[in-house]
Amino acid sequence: MQPFRKLTGIAAPLPLVNVDTDRIIPAHWLKTIRRTGLGVGLFESLRYREDGSENPDFVLNREPYRRSVILITGENFGCGSSREHAPWALLDFGIRCVIAPSFADIFFNNCFKNGILPIVLPQATVDALMAEAETASEPVFTVDLEEQLIHRPSGNQPVPFEVDPFKRHCLLEGLDDIGLTLKRLERIEAFEARQRREQPWLWTRAA
Amino acid sequence: MGEAKTLFEKIWDSHVVEEQEDGTCLLYIDRHLVHEVTSPQAFEGLRQAGRRVRRPDATLAVPDHNVPTTDRARGIADETSRIQVETLEQNCREFGIELFGMNDVRQGIVHVIGPEQGFTLPGTTIVCGDSHTSTHGAFGALAFGIGTSEVEHVLATQTLLQKKPKTMRIAVEGELGFGVGAKDVILAIIGKIGTAGGTGHVIEYAGPVVRALSMEGRMTICNMSIEAGARAGLIAPDEKTFRWLEGRPMAPKGALWQQAVAFWRTLPSDPDARYDREVVLDASTIEPMVTWGTSPQDVVPITGRVPDPKDEPDPKRRAAMERALAYMGLEPGTPMQEIRIDKVFIGSCTNARLEDLRVVARIVQGRKVAPQVHAMIVPGSGIVKHLAEEEGLDRIFRDAGFEWREPGCSMCLGMNPDRLQPGERCASTSNRNFEGRQGKGGRTHLVSPAMAAAAAITGRLTDVRKLVA
- pLDDT value of position B324: 97
Closest CA of chain B from A33, distance in Å: 5
Q: Is residue A206 part of a domain?
A: no
Q: Is residue A190 part of a domain?
A: no
Strand partners, B279: B170
Scanning every residue of chain A, which has its alpha carbon at the shortest distance from the alpha carbon of B321? Answer: A17
Phi-psi region of A204 (alpha: psi -120 to 50; beta: other; left: phi over 0): alpha
Q: Cβ of B58 under 8 Å from any chain A Cβ?
A: yes
Measured in degrees and rounded to the nearest 5, phi and psi for residue B441 equal 80, 0
Interface contact A178-B434, CB threshold 8 A = no
Q: Cβ of B304 under 8 Å from any chain A Cβ?
A: no
Total domains in the fold of chain A: 1
**Distance between CA B85 and CA A197 in Å, rounded?**
37
A-chain residues within 8 Å CB-CB of B413? 22, 27, 81
Enclosing H/E stretch for B47? helix B40-49
Interface contact A205-B145, CB threshold 8 A = no
**Distance between CA B432 and CA B415 in Å, rounded?**
14
| Residue to substitute from A164, A176, A199, A203, interface B, most B β-carbons within 10 A | A199
Interface contact B130-A28, CB threshold 8 A = no
Please name the residues between 322 and 361 in chain B that touch chain A, using a CB distance below 8 Å.
none
Query: For B295-329, how does the pLDDT look when each residue is reduced to its tens digit (9 = 90+)?
Result: 999 999 999 999 999 999 999 889 999 999 999 99
| Residue to substitute from A81, A162, A175, interface B, most B β-carbons within 10 A | A81
Q: Is the ipTM of this complex over 0.90?
A: yes
- Classify burial at B395, counting beta carbons within 10 Å of its beta carbon; exposed 0-12, middle 13-18, buried 19 or more: middle
Distances (CA, A) of A200 to B125, B207, B258: 15, 32, 12
Strands B299-301 and B232-234: unpaired
Secondary structure percentages of chain B, helix, strand, coil, to 5? 40, 20, 45
**Distance between CA B211 and CA B143 in Å, rounded?**
19
Measured in degrees and rounded to the nearest 5, phi and psi for residue A37 equal 85, 5
Scanning every residue of chain B, which has its alpha carbon at the shortest distance from the alpha carbon of A113? Answer: B149
Q: In this model, does residue A205 exceed pLDDT 90?
A: no
Scanning every residue of chain A, which has its alpha carbon at the shortest distance from the alpha carbon of B129? Answer: A82
Q: In this model, does residue B469 exceed pLDDT 80?
A: no
Q: Cβ of B4 under 8 Å from any chain A Cβ?
A: no
Q: In this model, does residue A176 exceed pLDDT 90?
A: no
Query: For A26-73, how does the pLDDT look when each residue is reduced to its tens digit (9 = 90+)?
Result: 999 999 999 999 999 999 999 999 999 999 999 999 999 999 999 999
Three-state DSSP at B207 gives: coil
Q: In this model, does residue B110 exceed pLDDT 60?
A: yes
Q: Which domain holds residue A130?
A: 6-175
Scanning every residue of chain A, which has its alpha carbon at the shortest distance from the alpha carbon of B412? Answer: A27
Q: Between A82, A182, A199, which is nearest B131 by CB?
A: A82
What is the average per-residue pLDDT within A126-152? Answer: 97
CA-atom Rg of chain B in angstroms: 21
Scanning every residue of chain A, which has its alpha carbon at the shortest distance from the alpha carbon of B318? Answer: A17
* Opening angle at CA B105, ends B103 and B111, nearest 5: 100
Q: In this model, does residue A206 exceed pLDDT 70?
A: no
Length of chain A counted residue by residue: 207
Three-state DSSP at A151 gives: strand
- pLDDT value of position A171: 96
Secondary structure percentages of chain A, helix, strand, coil, to 5? 40, 20, 40
* Opening angle at CA A130, ends A125 and A135, nearest 5: 130
B-chain residues within 8 Å CB-CB of A45? 435-436, 440
Q: In this model, does residue B362 exceed pLDDT 50?
A: yes
Q: Is residue A45 part of a domain?
A: yes
Interface contact A16-B28, CB threshold 8 A = no
Query: For B188-211, how does the pLDDT look when each residue is reduced to its tens digit (9 = 90+)?
Result: 999 999 999 999 999 999 999 999
Q: Cβ of B258 under 8 Å from any chain A Cβ?
A: no
Q: Are A141 and A152 in contact, with CB atoms under 8 Å apart? A: yes
Query: How many Å separate Cα B226 from the centre of its chain?
Result: 9
A-chain residues within 8 Å CB-CB of B150? 109-110, 113
Query: For B69-108, how does the pLDDT look when each residue is reduced to its tens digit (9 = 90+)?
Result: 998 988 999 999 999 999 999 999 999 999 999 999 999 9
What is the number of other CB atoms lying within 10 angstroms of the CB of residue B328?
Answer: 21
- pLDDT value of position B316: 87
Strand partners, A6: A144
Please name the residues between 105 and 124 in chain B that touch chain A, using a CB distance below 8 Å.
121, 123-124
Q: Cβ of B13 under 8 Å from any chain A Cβ?
A: no
CATH of the domain at A36: 3.20.19.10
What single-letter amino acid sits at B421?
Answer: Q
Q: Is residue A199 part of a domain?
A: no
Q: Cβ of B20 under 8 Å from any chain A Cβ?
A: yes
**Distance between CA B72 and CA B107 in Å, rounded?**
12
Per-residue DSSP letter, B310: G
**Distance between CA A190 and CA A174 in Å, rounded?**
29
- Classify burial at A48, counting beta carbons within 10 Å of its beta carbon; exposed 0-12, middle 13-18, buried 19 or more: middle
Measured in degrees and rounded to the nearest 5, phi and psi for residue A20 equal -90, 165
Distances (CA, A) of A46 to A13, A26, A86: 14, 11, 15
**Distance between CA A89 and CA B61 in Å, rounded?**
26
Query: For B165-188, how does the pLDDT look when each residue is reduced to its tens digit (9 = 90+)?
Result: 999 999 999 999 999 999 999 999
Q: Is residue A185 part of a domain?
A: no
Closest CA of chain B from A48, distance in Å: 12
Q: Give the DSSP letter string of B149-196.
A: HHHHHHHHHSEEEEEPPEEEEEEEES-PPTT--HHHHHHHHHHHH-TT
What's the count of helices (H) and strands (E) in chain B, helices before strands?
16, 19
Q: Are B448 and B344 in contact, with CB atoms under 8 Å apart? A: no
Strand partners, B45: none
Contact pairs from chain A to chain B, CB under 8 Å: 186
- pLDDT value of position A207: 45
Strand partners, A144: A6, A149
Interface contact B316-A164, CB threshold 8 A = no
- Classify burial at B93, counting beta carbons within 10 Å of its beta carbon; exposed 0-12, middle 13-18, buried 19 or more: exposed
Q: Cβ of B250 under 8 Å from any chain A Cβ?
A: yes
Three-state DSSP at A39 gives: helix
**Distance between CA B45 and CA A73 in Å, rounded?**
31
Q: In this model, does residue A204 exceed pLDDT 90?
A: no
Q: Is residue A207 part of a domain?
A: no
Scanning every residue of chain B, which has its alpha carbon at the shortest distance from the alpha carbon of A35? Answer: B41
Enclosing H/E stretch for B202? strand B201-206
Strands B159-163 and B166-173: unpaired
Q: Is residue A184 part of a domain?
A: no
Strands B201-206 and B59-61: unpaired
Q: Is residue A112 part of a domain?
A: yes
